[in-house]
Structures are given as C-alpha cells and as structure tokens.
Structure 1
Amino acid sequence: MDSPFRLLFVCLGNICRSPAAEAVMRALVEAEGLAGSITMRSAGTAGWHSGKLPDQRMRNAGQKRGYNLSSRARQVNENDLLDHDLVLVMDRQNHRDVLSYDSKSQFSEKIRLFCEFCTGHKEEEVPDPYYGGEQGFEHVLDLLEDGCRGVLRHIREQRGLTQA
C-alpha cells in the first residue's frame, strides 16, 4: 500500500485558519472513508502560540458546524517541507515565510496558496479573522470547506483514490 498523502496547512499563529483547515479536511476525509490514505497537520509561521489550543472563537464557530478543533499550535520547520506532500498556506505572507525555509528551492512546487483549490469563492487569500468579529470566522470556514473539497479532488486525481 502506498504511504498516505500528507497535507500541511499553514497560517500565521496556528490558532485560527490552519487548525480549522485541518479539522475541516479531517472531517471530509473521514466522511469519504479515506482516513488511512490522507493525513493532515497544521502549523504557524510564528511560534507565539505554540502548545495552545485554537482560538476559542474559531473552536466555537467550528463546533457549530460539527468540527473538532483540538490540535495544539506549533511552528512550521524545515522538516515539514520534506515530510509533507502538499503545504497549503493561507495568504501570501505565509507563502513567503514558508518559502524562506526552502533554502535550496527544492520544495516550491508543493507550497501553494490554499485558495487555489476553492471553486465557489473568488478570494485569493484566506483572511485572518483574529481581529474581527464572529462573521469573519464563519467566512473563513466557508472558504475552508470550499477549498478542502478542491484539495480532496486534487489528491484523488494525483493518487487515483476512490471513495470507500
């Protein structure tokens, strides 16, 4: 059996967007019966929140939609580029920051903007909801649900996965 396809979602602090993407993707993968074929993690480009749970407002918004945001924040590192098949960043600044870990420019093709996989939304970046109100967290979840469906289609095409 092939090794699982390994996804990494990255935002700034790893307490809002990327852990929510991880939770949305995990729920989608489990619902499709692909838990053994796709793994996912999240990380932040900054380490301020390392070890902490996701922001309570994002956990509340996710819980209303049935998502469990329970991962602990951690900072992205050089090994993440080697250890993951696809690194999805939430905005252009995250993209620049993650590319800075790729000193030999060998991983740039696997570091992509998350919104490239959205089909129902026109945004090019997932906005950081941290300083906004409740609607910002809902909008982020809308984008993540859209994009995660696109990511799953991409992985299915790459790996030839069928629904279990």
Structure 2
Amino acid sequence: MQPDGSPIRVLFLCLGNICRSPAAEGIFIHRARERGVLDRFEVDSAGLGGWHAGERPDPRTLAEAARRGIHVPSIARQLAERDLDHHHVIVYMDAQNRAGLERRGAPRDRLRAMSSFRPDAGPDDVADPYEHGPEAFVAMFDHLERAVDGMLDELAGGDSSRAAGARGVRR
C-alpha cells in the first residue's frame, strides 16, 4: 500500500493488450490473492494501440492461463492519457513499449520493465508471442510468472514505500 493507506495502482502495458499485459494482469491477481495481499493493489492492463479494443485476450493466452488455473479478466483497451498520472507503476513488456510510453510523456519514475522484477538473469524483454505457436505462450507465461513473483516480493514485501514513492516506483 501507499504511505496514505491507498492501494498501489499497477498498469501492465504491451502493444495490443491481448497477450502479454492481460496475462501479466491475470497472473498478478492470482498470485496476489494466493499471498493474501490483493487488497493492497489496484491492477489493470492496456495496450499502446487500440486495434483490439473491446476484445477478450487472444485465445492462446486464455488457453495457457486456464491450463495454469489462472483467470484473465481483461477486455482490451488502449492506453489513455489518464493512465499516465493515475497509476503508480506502469510495467511495460519491451523496449518498444517503453519508447511508446516515453513519446506519450509518461513519467519516467513510474516506468518499470516487467523483466526488471525477475529474480534471475532472464531476457530483458517479454517476447511477444502473437505471431508464434503455443510454445511461445508457454514461454511467455513462464517469464511472466517469475517476474510477477519478484514484483510481489518487492511491492508487497513489508515496506512497499521502498518500491513505490509518492509519485511512483523509482529505478
């Protein structure tokens, strides 16, 4: 929670909001609920583009989530100007996402790479599985699960103010 007792507002962002960011949102909600800390967070996801706005996540995302017992509640939407100030932490999936956020004037102190939360030395970017087969979705979920676990360790582990400042997460 924030120092004032309000939830930490987290936004997961990818390109179209049908694969990576909704998967991250679903995994985060699932893992936070398992840890009993979901009430400390307000979680959402969005895409840089609006091509899929109003759609459910990619069926392959939903299939892999179901295989792992994870519910993905998202309906795709495009990043809105309000998101940039509303969320304490904006978690992007790759360098292209970060560049898009920076072009839109996102506060840099609120931006974090999803991979920066991984406890191991994994790849810098969460690969976009959209143009690939089911194995790419398995790899995406594996990557996101490790990163979400590290994220929860950091944000919910005792003093969350070390990770989330008055204006957001600093790195």
TM-score of the pair, normalised by structure 2: 0.88
- 2:150 is matched with 150
Asked whether the equivalents of residues 77 and 101 of structure 1 are also in contact (C-alpha less than 8 Å), the reply is no
Letter in 2 for 1:130: Y
Q: Does 1:49 align with 2:65?
A: no
- 1:141 is matched with 141
CA RMSD of aligned residues (A): 1.4
CA deviations over 1:67-106 (Å, ceiling 9, x no partner): 111310000122111111100000000001011221xx6x
TM-score of the pair, normalised by structure 1: 0.91
- 1:3 is matched with 6
- 1:12 is matched with 15
- 2:165 is matched with none
Q: Does 1:90 align with 2:70?
A: no
> Structure 1 segments of 4 or more deviating over 3 A?
none
* Runs of 5+ unmatched residues, structure 1: none
Q: How does 1:1-164 map to 2 (within 5 A)?
A: 2-102=5-105, 107-157=107-157, 158-159=159-160
CA deviations over 1:7-35 (Å, ceiling 9, x no partner): 10000000000000000000011111112
Asked whether the equivalents of residues 22 and 42 of structure 1 are also in contact (C-alpha less than 8 Å), the reply is yes
CA deviations over 1:91-122 (Å, ceiling 9, x no partner): 000001011221xx6x1011121101112352
Letter in 2 for 1:26: I
Letter in 1 for 2:75: R
Letter in 2 for 1:22: E
Match of 1:36, SS state, is: helix
Displacement of 1:42: 0.3
Displacement of 1:58: 0.7
Asked whether the equivalents of residues 13 and 73 of structure 1 are also in contact (C-alpha less than 8 Å), the reply is yes
Output the CA distance in 2 between the equivalents of 1:78 and 1:101: 8
